[in-house]
């Protein structure tokens, strides 16, 4: 894997290479029933170098997860058919059965969350929350921190000591 300093606006540069030696893009699964949110996320994440997959509800997300392992999932909580909490429970069951392939970092993207919901999501193992409407820099920062292996993060220069 090759590592380069992150600039805050591009996809993580610590990557595996494909068979031809080209860097492989990180895959992000976007799970949200709001097509405007999905479109905005698709555009922004493509601009900064991520490959994206989308699902309009939890059931569609599970179908994708049975076939493809994204590097990270952006997950809305309130969706029809199967909500975000049910997706988190499904992932936890898979991991509990010993299937580490389902240890996918999850960032909750939501406009409404109660303290109880936030606590439940944290207990379910999420790596972050980002509120809607998005502050794009915050979203990209949280996403990069969650998706980049710690060994590839280049720390900022240490503060000046007195």
How do the pLDDT tens digits run along the chain, 162 residues long? 333 333 443 444 444 544 554 557 899 999 999 999 999 999 999 998 999 999 999 999 999 999 999 999 999 999 999 999 999 999 988 887 877 778 899 999 988 878 888 888 888 889 988 888 888 888 998 898 888 765 554 544 444 544
Please tell me the pTM assigned to this model.
0.78
Distance separating alpha carbons of residues 162 and 147, to the nearest angstrom: 35
H helices of the chain, where? 35-47, 58-67, 84-96, 115-123, 136-147
């Amino acid at each position: 894997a090759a590592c380069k300093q992150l600039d805050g606006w591009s996809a993580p540069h610590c990557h595996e290479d494909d068979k031809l030696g080209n860097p492989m893009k990180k895959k992000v699964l976007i799970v949200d029933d709001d097509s405007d949110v999905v479109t905005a996320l698709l555009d922004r994440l493509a601009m900064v170098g991520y490959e994206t997959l989308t699902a309009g509800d939890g059931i569609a997300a599970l179908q994708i997860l049975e076939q493809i392992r994204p590097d990270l999932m952006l997950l809305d909580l309130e969706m029809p058919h199967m909500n975000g909490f049910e997706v988190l429970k499904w992932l936890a069951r898979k991991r509990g059965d010993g299937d580490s392939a389902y240890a996918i970092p999850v960032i909750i993207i939501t406009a409404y969350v109660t303290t109880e919901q936030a606590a439940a999501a944290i207990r379910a193992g999420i790596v972050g929350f980002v509120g809607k409407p998005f502050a794009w820099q915050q979203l990209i920062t949280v996403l990069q921190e969650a998706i980049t292996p710690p060994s590839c993060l280049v720390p900022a220069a240490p503060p000046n000591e007195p």
